[in-house]
A = this chain, B = another copy of it.
Amino acid sequence: MPEAAPLHIAFLLFPDVTQLDLTGPAQVLSRLGNAKLDLVAKTRDPVPTDAQFPLLPTATFAEVPRTDILCIPGGFGTVAVMEDAETLAWVRRAAASATWVTSVCTGSLVLAAAGLLTGYRAACHWASREQLAFFGAEPVAGRVVFDRNRVTGGGVTAGIDFALALTAKIRGEDHAKFVQLSLEYDPAPPFDSGAPERADAATLARYRAMVEKFAPGRVDKVRAIAARLAETASDG
């Protein structure tokens, strides 16, 4: 088979990322063939994740001025990122040249805060999905949402479905099926509790209490960020 066109993939790495938002799709996309993958952060220092181990950046913002596939993972750390001018500036710069501008989980809120989802349909973690509307994006309840060159995944594990769908778009369905087989991606969840529509009420209540404990006032913070952005835009 002919050699595939070379590609660069850049994942944004930031403190308190949900590490599987990144490591799931990175596993899939690392098998695109003829693709170089970087985890990009402000510095090369280890970055703490939500799972008690750090991830190590492979490049800094300065070292990755452009990429073909930009992917923003999510996590409780996203609120800080949405207020961080340096990170948002890199996201905008990388997105400007990227063929695909993508996210997983609440990473779509970072894209939105960078002004990159206004007027786009997008996915997000189910519990934060409606917050996309604060930024003029249209929330969609889906595992993978394509809208022009924006490709967004739902919460955490949706990153694997997202990355396989993107693989098919870029390298063809046969290649995506090969990657799926290599990862034995034939999921068999032991319970049917992965979506809010099917989780029981006690599980839903417990989830919402956990968010309020670990990220108190999150929705209000995101709403305030969106309001400030709208003001800045109307001032400009």
Contacts and interface: CB of A to CB of B under 8 A. Distances in A.
A113 interface: no
Contact of A53 (B37, B144, B207): B37
* Size class of the contact patch on chain A: 35 or more
A161 interface: yes
A177 B161 contact: no
A65 interface: no
Contacts of A190: 144, 161, 164-165, 168, 176
B143 A188 contact: yes
A193 B181 contact: yes
A204 B37 CA distance: 26
A143 to B, nearest CB: 5
Interface in A175-227: 176-178, 180-191, 193-196, 198-200, 202-204, 206-207, 210
A126 B184 CA distance: 7
A211 to B, nearest CB: 9
B183 A160 contact: no
A207 B194 contact: no
A18 B26 contact: no
Contacts of A188: 143-144, 158, 161
A57 to B, nearest CB: 8
Contacts of A39: 53
Interface stretch (A44-52, A79-87, A88-96, A114-122): A44-52
A235 interface: no
A37 B52 contact: yes
Nearest to A160: B157
A30 interface: yes
B184 A194 contact: yes
Interface string A35-63: 01111000000100011111110100000
A187 B195 CA distance: 10
In order of increasing CB-CB distance, the 5 nearest A-B pairs are A155-B184, A186-B194, A177-B193, A23-B23, A20-B27
18 contacts: A19-B26, A20-B24, A20-B183, A37-B52, A53-B55, A54-B58, A55-B56, A143-B186, A154-B184, A155-B183, A156-B183, A160-B189, A164-B190, A178-B193, A180-B191, A183-B194, A186-B194, A186-B195
